[in-house]
Amino acid sequence: MRGTRLFVTAALAAATALPLTAGPATAVERNPVIFVHGWNGSASNWNELVADFKADGYTDGELTAWNYNTSQSNKTTADQLSAVVDDVLARTGATKVDIVTHSMGGLNSRWYLKFVGGTDKVDDWVSLAGPNHGTTSANSCFDASCVEMRPGSEFLTTLNDGDESPGAVNYGTWWSTCDETIDPDDSTVVSGARNTQTGCITHLGFLTDDGVSQDVRTFVA
């Protein structure tokens, strides 16, 4: 989004959870995974990573890519994410989920963890190229969510006050100096997380990079 380029394209207007299949609740051997896209994105952004998880043996019912209205406040999205998590837990019989996020998805999911009770229901949390401490590129858009992504915003000040990685959740972030959207580059870094600086990967490249995919799948295993 430096200039006019933003996080991803094809925003969807309604918040919708898209489990790849729905099945009866059964005992599970691993955590189901919820994928949260970024600003102006969609569940389809995760197609390649979902395919990699399936190649590792995950079933459709264990993988949920979620669509939501990216123009609304991240606080609203966090409340909606809470309902999605509860639905996945009920549907799969799991006790916890893993959450994998790209870009702004890291912010609403962190709000869920910190302020909406998510730490009791999430095992692993991943932020790929997240503006966790803001990005100057958000100055060029004016949605409620964009205002919240600006460095020094009230939203970010509250989110990052005190413990940035609360609870017993396993936090991990991945970031790159080649990311053209996150400015400053190391905004993604979260105190208390396992923070990984990658090679030269663009903002959208995090969604399709083979090395990042392997790292993420190992991290949540």
Token pair for 172: 């991990």
Q: Tens of pLDDT along 57-94?
A: 999 999 999 999 999 999 999 999 999 999 999 999 99
Tell me what pLDDT residue 19 has: 52
Tell me what pLDDT residue 8 has: 39
Tell me what pLDDT residue 207 has: 99
Query: Coil, strand or helix: which one is 97?
Result: strand
Q: Tens of pLDDT along 18-32?
A: 455 444 444 457 999
The C-alpha angle with vertex 218 and arms to 213 and 219, in degrees rounded to 5, equals 100
Tell me what pLDDT residue 28 has: 52
pTM of the model: 0.88
Rounded distance between C-alpha atoms, residue 102 and residue 125, angstroms: 11
Parts of the chain with a pLDDT under 70: 1-28
Rounded distance between C-alpha atoms, residue 190 and residue 197, angstroms: 12
Tell me what pLDDT residue 171 has: 99
Assess contact for 80 and 15: CB atoms under 8 A: yes
Rounded distance between C-alpha atoms, residue 144 and residue 118, angstroms: 23
* All domains in the chain, ordered by first residue: 16-220 (3.40.50.1820)
Closest by Cα among 91, 169, 182 to 135: 182
**Contacts for 193 with CB less than 8 Å, ≥ 6 apart:** 127, 164, 165, 171, 172, 173
